[in-house]
Structure 1
Amino acid sequence: MLPDRKMYGLLNRPQSKSGFKPLPVVIIGNGPSGICLSYLLSGYVPYLKRHSIHPHPILQRKLEEAPDISILDQSIEGSMITLSRGDWMGLPDLPFKDWLKQKRRGLRNNRATAEDIAQYYQHYVMKKGLQKNFSCDTVVTSVKKVSAESISNHAQKDLQESSDSLWTLNEKSTEVFQVDGFFKTVKGDEEPFSIYAENVVLATGTYDGPTWLGVKGENLSYVHHQLSALEEAVKNNIGIMSDPVLIVGAGLTAADAILFAHHCNIPVIHVFRRRVSDPGLIFNQLPKMMYPEYHKVHQMMKEQSAACAGPYECYISFPEHHVLSFGKDKKCIIQDKNGYQKAYKISMALVLTGSNPNLSFLPNNGMDLAMDSDQPVNPKRNPIDVDPFTYECTQEKGLYALGPLAGDNFVRFVQGGALAVASSLLKKANKNPP
């Protein structure tokens, strides 16, 4: 990664207290997608590393054609999301494993805890000098496009005089995005703000609303909906001698929980509705060579069912089962497809059946931006409809979506998506040079 001075002005120029001067871009979200894009917009521009070999041969040939031209300035023709395999959780120019070594410990069976990952992202922001780009303790309550007619005379004058912007607003259309929200002060007060931006990037992720089963007892204290609860339980002495942990779900988060529990020798009861051979199951869609750990979980699901004992200790799978209820005595009742019920004593339950984003700050909760505008945005079934080359929303120009909102449910794809957005923004800037 090499610094490029022409990108420095994107996020670093002063803004008036009134908030009328438009920023070139506002990124909403402080996860890996937002961090990676902030990095690319702060002066770090990617070039092909000499003598490097990319696993995708077609992409390798494309990159070798113009090694002295920034990847931001190249057209990668649809291969954007494959630009970096790298470490699964890593961001550009600071491998996750290297950071763990600095902490004087290595990955446990290549597994990282949620706490590890959160600390890594915080360290990354500090290490790369991105703090100035982040406004912490900030809640966005509204994002809407406004026209010149709807803005006060003071605002219009400020918009027209913003000559230090890398973009010059089109004289015929001074539409910008108005971003409203509030800061949380040290005293706990809420201080409102209103700013304008020429482009807005949605990078909020989808973990705001975990999906609930809607069964009796799901609100009991031993029933959780986040993987971090298992990590916390391990610290509190849950282990091999404990009652089993019930894990509900057949996605990658459930697989992460199973791998973590398996490493810690914690007994697991795994309940999921689909058949193991169901082509819709995510494990049946992943290349085995690239995702060996997840295929290990899939193998466990196949070979270690309650009906057929297998080689894996401390794990039992229940395909085509669902949870009926949770009891105050920590007994869980599950039922198979034929209506046969079983009760199990468990130490805790993890319901990991997906989550939904909170897009309440967008008109109609963002539904108008989705692939199916009649249904809520969902990272797996109904992501935001974006141009695959730029990640710009097809229904709203100037609005971009990154990460799970755009259907990229792996951190390893984040770098490509952020690169696509950064490239698009740079092309817009070059159309209107200062």
Structure 2
Amino acid sequence: MWIHSRTLSFMLSGYRPHYNGAALSNEYLMQRLHDAADLSLFEQDLRYLSDGLEGRSNNPVALLFDQLFHPDADLGVDAPTALDWKYDEQHYISHVVLGKTKPGGTWQKIDGTMQTVSQSSWMELPNVAFKEWLTSEDRTRSSARLDRHSMAGRATIADVKDYYTDYIKSQGLEKNFKDFHTVTSVQQVYHLKNIVDSESGEVEPCCANVRRNHPHCWEVRGYVTSSTGDSCKLRNGESGEEVIPQQGFCYVAPHVVLAVGTYDKPNRLGVVGESSPSVVHSLGDFEQALLSMRLESSGDLTDEPRVSSPDPVLVVGAGLSAADAILTAMDAGVPVIHVFRRAPTHASLVFSKLPRAIYPEYHRVHRLMKGQELSQLYTPMPKQTVMEVRDKAVLVGSASGEGRGSGKASSSTSTSLTWVDVSLVAIMVGARSDLGFLPREGRDLGIVAKWPIDSKHNIIDVDPFTYQANRQPQMFAMGPLVGDNFVRFGIGGALAIVNHFNKCRRKEVM
């Protein structure tokens, strides 16, 4: 359940955004808003309002909402929002939000002491300022935590998780959320009218082309799991084996919105031994593995986080997730071998795009990668790939190609092969959304048809002003599925979708 589903539910519940008259640096946008000051954004032409806007999203409505919710954010300005929210229960649109875990998904698995990549104000949702929530009197916090949370304007994962959980409660959205509901299929169902043959008496469809001549709804099916994430287990009376009964559910609705995150299915290298128990593909699993190592080495959990490990951990990747894994291991006193395909000075690495003052920990990893800082706990292996994984050992090959390892060493590209003894392997090379509940995993929905949906390389092809899938009417997508990987931009998708629903309501076609 992606974070943006909260904002979509908030807007569908009758909260309507109004421009509050605040000064904007974009005078053209400000004038357009003043001309329709008595209307909410749901009643205005988003194409007209967003015309000519520029920023760090390719979606015009995302830019529009960001410029109103976070005015001049890219200029380093922390200006008050230019939006006021007015509640009108008459504008409530019936909906349900299905999530296979607690709201927040992957965020629930990450160490709460880590800091977010985005500024804390960029993580906030409509109607509840993050800073005000953080310092509210009913929240008990030590001054030390507050000081650290305000470091460079970033928040900790723990605070963000609490904020998003409290948001649902404070805005009265609980009735719309169904946690631990795993969706297994989303398919079209048609409103059919059958006719009876006057001679044979057989029931026949009223026309040959059902898809063209009949409206459809979406049938969403799945099963409910327990609050621990596992279905209740029972024991078979005959065989004695454990069985997991599944309580199914089925919803039928005229519209469906895809709001899943990007970390459901970690990317894999495709090398031999990658499915070994000593290999993990997510930061949450990596932290759990380190915790297990700590328990094995000390027998209990103390305030001292260090782990007595005979062999290092090996981290693969050169993105922020890999950097987080490296920092987590080093903080625990675990030596790290870092394997990455490109040169540490390669222009495509994300570290060069991050301001040093705001992201000192990531720049420290970059310095370690370049050899500008040395540590006994860190060993870089640039321009290399993992070729094979065995129990507690990894075969690393030095390659000149930019592609990922295929599991075989090529004499034309490899100059050396080295077996490295390790206690754990963390393959952090990105992830993608799990759309297994859609026919063909949604491959027909992408900009490049028949290719897997990917938040960076092949997003779902949507109308930029309604977020409706161009190849599937009445299906919508938002967030990473349409390229908006940051909270501040993903909220614009909710604005576009609810704006469209309101137009449909006025035309009485919902």
Match of 1:304 among 368, 375, 385: 368
Map of 1:69 onto structure 2: 39
Per the TM alignment, residue 131 of structure 1 is displaced from its structure 2 partner at its CA by 0.9
Name the amino acid aligned to 2:126.
Answer: P
Distance 2:24 2:333 in 1: 38
8 Å CA contact retained: 1:304, 1:312: yes
Map of 1:81 onto structure 2: 62
Q: Confirm or deny that 1:40 pairs with 2:81.
A: no
Name the amino acid aligned to 2:284.
Answer: S
Within-5 A mapping of 1:189-268:
189-232=245-288, 236=294, 239=306, 244-258=312-326, 267-268=335-336
Change (3 A) 1:397 1:138: same
Max Rg structure:
2
Q: Secondary structure at the match of 1:125?
A: helix
Aligned residues: percent identity? 35
Distance 1:151 1:279 in 2: 63
Unaligned runs of 5+ residues in structure 2 are 51-58, 71-119, 196-212, 234-244, 295-303, 400-413
8 Å CA contact retained: 2:480, 2:490: no
Map of 1:146 onto structure 2: 189
Change (3 A) 1:229 1:192: closer
Change (3 A) 1:292 1:413: farther
Greater shift after overlay, 358-367 or 101-110?
Answer: 101-110
Map of 2:448 onto structure 1: 372
8 Å CA contact retained: 2:189, 2:216: yes
Q: Secondary structure at the match of 1:37?
A: helix
What do the CA deviations read for 1:399-434 (whole angstroms, capped 9, x no partner)? 001112222222332212222222222222122289
Q: Secondary structure at the match of 1:379?
A: coil
Change (3 A) 1:187 1:345: closer
Change (3 A) 1:345 1:97: farther
Distance 2:156 2:335 in 1: 19
Distance 2:479 2:255 in 1: 17
What do the CA deviations read for 1:354-387 (whole angstroms, capped 9, x no partner)? 2232222212221111111121212222121112
Q: Secondary structure at the match of 1:340?
A: strand
Unaligned runs of 5+ residues in structure 1 are 1-29, 153-171
What do the CA deviations read for 1:314-345 (whole angstroms, capped 9, x no partner)? 544433221233443x4444222243234545
8 Å CA contact retained: 1:379, 1:405: yes
Change (3 A) 1:336 1:112: farther
Map of 2:406 onto structure 1: none
Change (3 A) 1:174 1:326: closer
Change (3 A) 1:57 1:39: same
Q: Confirm or deny that 1:407 pairs with 2:476.
A: no
Q: Relative CO higher for 1 or 2, CA cutoff 8 Å, sep ≥ 6?
A: 1
Distance 2:27 2:379 in 1: 41
8 Å CA contact retained: 1:113, 1:231: no
Q: Confirm or deny that 1:91 pairs with 2:125.
A: yes
Change (3 A) 1:137 1:240: closer
Distance 2:37 2:269 in 1: 51
Distance 2:305 2:388 in 1: 22
Map of 2:167 onto structure 1: 124
Q: Confirm or deny that 1:319 pairs with 2:375.
A: no
8 Å CA contact retained: 1:269, 1:316: yes
8 Å CA contact retained: 2:306, 2:331: no
Per the TM alignment, residue 37 of structure 1 is displaced from its structure 2 partner at its CA by 0.7
Within-5 A mapping of 1:280-291:
280-283=348-351, 286=353, 288=354
Within-5 A mapping of 1:380-419:
380-419=456-495
Per the TM alignment, residue 349 of structure 1 is displaced from its structure 2 partner at its CA by 2.9
Q: Confirm or deny that 1:339 pairs with 2:415.
A: yes
8 Å CA contact retained: 1:252, 1:294: no
8 Å CA contact retained: 1:114, 1:228: no
Please, what is the CA RMSD of the aligned residues?
3.7
What do the CA deviations read for 1:154-204 (whole angstroms, capped 9, x no partner)? xxxxxxxxxxxxxxxxxx753222222333478564333333211110112
Change (3 A) 1:191 1:265: closer
Within-5 A mapping of 1:13-24:
none
8 Å CA contact retained: 1:239, 1:264: yes
Distance 2:183 2:170 in 1: 26
TM-score (norm 1): 0.73
Map of 2:179 onto structure 1: 136
Distance 1:132 1:430 in 2: 25
Change (3 A) 1:394 1:136: same
Per the TM alignment, residue 250 of structure 1 is displaced from its structure 2 partner at its CA by 2.5
TM-score (norm 2): 0.63
8 Å CA contact retained: 1:370, 1:385: yes
Map of 2:85 onto structure 1: none
Distance 1:113 1:390 in 2: 33
Per the TM alignment, residue 41 of structure 1 is displaced from its structure 2 partner at its CA by 0.9
Per the TM alignment, residue 53 of structure 1 is displaced from its structure 2 partner at its CA by 5.3
Change (3 A) 1:431 1:282: farther
Q: Secondary structure at the match of 1:149?
A: coil
Greater shift after overlay, 108-117 or 340-349?
Answer: 108-117
Question: What count of residue pairs does the alignment treat as equivalent?
Answer: 379
Greater shift after overlay, 61-70 or 357-366?
Answer: 61-70
Map of 2:222 onto structure 1: 181
Change (3 A) 1:177 1:229: closer
Change (3 A) 1:276 1:388: farther
Map of 1:271 onto structure 2: 339
8 Å CA contact retained: 1:176, 1:199: yes
8 Å CA contact retained: 2:433, 2:453: yes
Name the amino acid aligned to 1:40.
Answer: M
Change (3 A) 1:408 1:270: farther
Distance 1:283 1:326 in 2: 28
8 Å CA contact retained: 2:60, 2:464: no
Greater shift after overlay, 127-136 or 77-86?
Answer: 77-86
What do the CA deviations read for 1:30-49 (whole angstroms, capped 9, x no partner)? 32021111111112222334
Map of 2:82 onto structure 1: none
